[in-house]
Amino acid sequence: MILRVRDVHKSFPQPGGTLEVLRGVELEVREGETVAILGTSGSGKSTLLSLLAGLDAPTRGSVEVAGQDLAALDEAGLAAFRASQLGIVFQQYHLLGGLTALENTSLPLELHDVAAPDAETRARDALERVGLGERLGHFPHELSGGEQQRVAIARALVVEPALILADEPSGSLDDRTGEIVMGLLFDLVAKQGTTLVLVTHSDPLAARCDRALRLRDGVLA
Ligand SMILES: Nc1ncnc2c1ncn2[C@@H]1O[C@H](COP(=O)(O)OP(=O)(O)OP(=O)(O)O)[C@@H](O)[C@H]1O
Ligand SMILES: [Mg+2]
């Protein structure tokens, strides 16, 4: 199993009482599997992905990625683990505004001590695969929302991670564009045999995954 989630709970203390968003999530994902996570807005999908990425800690329960219990790692260990094992596509793209598409994409490789010319070649290749070969020198503000999301996908794929966690963009992209961009990610992942956990609102896209689960009342079913 590349991913093992056991009895994960997540609560947020609020002035009016504790908000229990996740209430015992169980999930096991095999290597190379594609899993869609559906659920209404506010059901906790992004919260769950941030726990899988080790960006936040569960209130209770455990998350294991590639045999590593995330709770056993400190901040630096988590950062190194994410850089080497995970490709993350957030709902907000988190591109660095001062860097071009090419620089944003090659950054994870450079953090990995890949030599600059090699990193640039691989980044260019990743951007070509998402159809942005003509936009290498553009800064994020010079790209459309869908293009920015595609840069985020190229950046997630470039290190050839063991597991990709992707949150479908909402708000800034219309549904159709979001679906096209996530479909592109799906195609690339399928070609490489990478494991994917994909949050999506699209039933057709979910149907293309090996499994589709729904997050409801704090549990996955
Ligand atoms: N840091 C936080 N503090 C308090 N409440 C939070 C926090 N993060 C998320 N929540 C609440 O948890 C619930 C789940 O949020 P989450 O972002 O996971 O939803 P989602 O399923 O991703 O929704 P969407 O489809 O709109 O992206 C929401 O009601 C949200 O207000
Ligand atoms: Mg969300």
The answer, yes or no, to whether any atom of ligand 1 lies below 6 A from the CB of 39, is yes
Q: 110 in a domain, yes or no? A: yes
Q: 64 in a domain, yes or no? A: no
**pTM, 2 dp:** 0.91
Task: Choose one of 21, 91, 167 to mutate for the ligand 1 pocket test, by most ligand atoms within 8 angstroms of C-beta.
Answer: 21
- The structural domain count of the chain equals 1
Amino acid of residue 202: S
Q: 18 in a domain, yes or no? A: no
Q: 127 in a domain, yes or no? A: yes
Inform me whether the pLDDT recorded for 172 exceeds 80: no
For residue 21, report the distance from its CA to the centre of ligand 1, in Å: 8
- CA separation for the pair 49, 43 (Å, rounded): 12
Provide the domain limits for residue 163. 33-55+73-220
Instruction: Enter the tokens of residue 196.
Output: 């994917």
Q: 183 in a domain, yes or no? A: yes
Q: 21 in a domain, yes or no? A: no
pLDDT above 90 covers a percentage of the chain that reads 74
In contact, 177 and 208? CB cutoff 8 Å:
no
Q: 154 in a domain, yes or no? A: yes
Q: 3 in a domain, yes or no? A: no
Task: Choose one of 45, 197, 213 to mutate for the ligand 1 pocket test, by most ligand atoms within 8 angstroms of C-beta.
Answer: 45
- Three-point CA angle 34, 35, 36, nearest 5°: 125
Q: Domain with 118 in it: what CATH number?
A: 3.40.50.300
Fill in the DSSP letter of residue 194.
Answer: -
Range with lowest mean pLDDT among 70-74, 126-130, 170-174: 170-174
pLDDT score for 198: 93
